[in-house]
Amino acid sequence: MSDLISALLLGILEGLTEFLPISSTGHLLIAQHWLGARSDFFNIVIQAGAILAITLVFRQRLWNLATGWRDPENRDYAAKLIVAFMVTALVGLPVRLAGWELPETVTPVAWALIIGGVWMVAAERLAERGAHPDNDHVTWKAAILVGLAQVVAGVFPGTSRSAAAIFIAMLAGLSRRSAAAEFVFLVGIPTMFAASAYAFLELVRHGGGAQESWPDVAVAFIAAVVTGFVVVKWLLGYIESHRFTGFAVYRILLGTALLLFLPMGE
């Protein structure tokens, strides 16, 4: 398989899995086993493509929030997005600097997938019992917990940032799935931009990216943007009338497959 096709497939995979609650890390582990490992620079660029995709999906919502400060409801929502992001940044940066993060290898990622799948089923049932099923109001408690959930997802690769944050939001009372997903995705835009920028600056400081194949990087980036855009649009419609159970079962099966079929050291 040519390097260009490999790059295309990795870009598509990043776009498919970054925002679904199934862990992009677990899928990239499998992909790298078959398609070959890529550089940190390459991985940062395709993640940036996924961030651009979600920014495009929510471009009108973001514009309304940026220009609608006179509307109390807009102002309240934007303030909660900022608080969720600040919680992630203020807690997550010291955690990252301290090196408190499990390695992105098969065993911890596989167990995070399995445990996360079980957690998703339980959390969704608990959320439905504990609040009105159509509640779409974001509380300050939900905003803070979403920020903390993003930190937890960063410490435990395979958890899935979107899954951890969406289900915490639902347990905090934001029981309407699409409203929880929208808040989490909007918080994810500055969070992922900041994380990618931090990783990119670290990489540049150490001379990374100099030997990249730029056609490969460009193809993967565009694939991640297009695929991510389609996936997020589809997911927001799907969860209006469907549970997350299918994703949970898939996570458990994927985690089990990783434990059984991939070498533990990878």
- Both tokens of residue 197? 């920028």
pLDDT score, position 202: 76
Domain total in the chain: 1
Q: Give the separation between CA 86 and CA 88, rounded to whole angstroms.
A: 5
Task: For the full predicted model, state whether its pTM sits above 0.85.
Answer: yes
Contact 248, 121 (CB under 8 A): yes
Residue 102 sits at φ, ψ, to 5 deg, of -70, 150
175: left (phi over 0), alpha (psi -120 to 50) or beta: alpha
Dihedral of CA atoms 10, 99, 180, 162 in degrees, nearest 10, equals: 20
105 within domain boundaries: yes
Q: Give the separation between CA 217 and CA 223, rounded to whole angstroms.
A: 10
If you write DSSP's letter for every residue of 11-62 in order, what string do you get? HHHHHHHSSSTT-HHHHHHHHHHHH----HHHHHHHHHHHHHHHHHHTHHHH
Distance set, CA 243 to CA 105, 153, 181, 230, 238 (Å): 29, 21, 13, 20, 9
Q: Which residue type is seen at 249?
A: V
- Both tokens of residue 54? 């979600």
- Both tokens of residue 71? 């509307």
266 within domain boundaries: no
Taking only the tens of pLDDT, the chain with its 266 residues reads 678 899 999 999 999 999 999 988 888 878 877 888 787 788 888 988 999 999 999 999 999 999 988 899 999 999 999 999 999 999 988 887 787 777 778 888 899 999 999 999 998 888 877 656 677 889 999 999 999 999 998 888 888 899 999 999 999 988 888 899 999 999 999 998 888 888 788 777 776 655 778 888 899 999 999 999 999 999 999 998 899 999 999 999 999 998 998 776 55
Contact 251, 110 (CB under 8 A): no
C-beta atoms surrounding 35 within 10 Å: 17
Q: Which residues contact 253 (CB under 8 A, 6 or more apart)?
A: none
Q: Give the separation between CA 125 and CA 123, rounded to whole angstroms.
A: 5
69 within domain boundaries: yes
pLDDT score, position 207: 67
87 within domain boundaries: yes
Q: Give the separation between CA 199 and CA 37, rounded to whole angstroms.
A: 18
pLDDT score, position 115: 94
Among 221, 231, 186, smallest CA distance to 17 is for 231
187 within domain boundaries: yes
Residue numbers of the domain that contains 252? 3-261
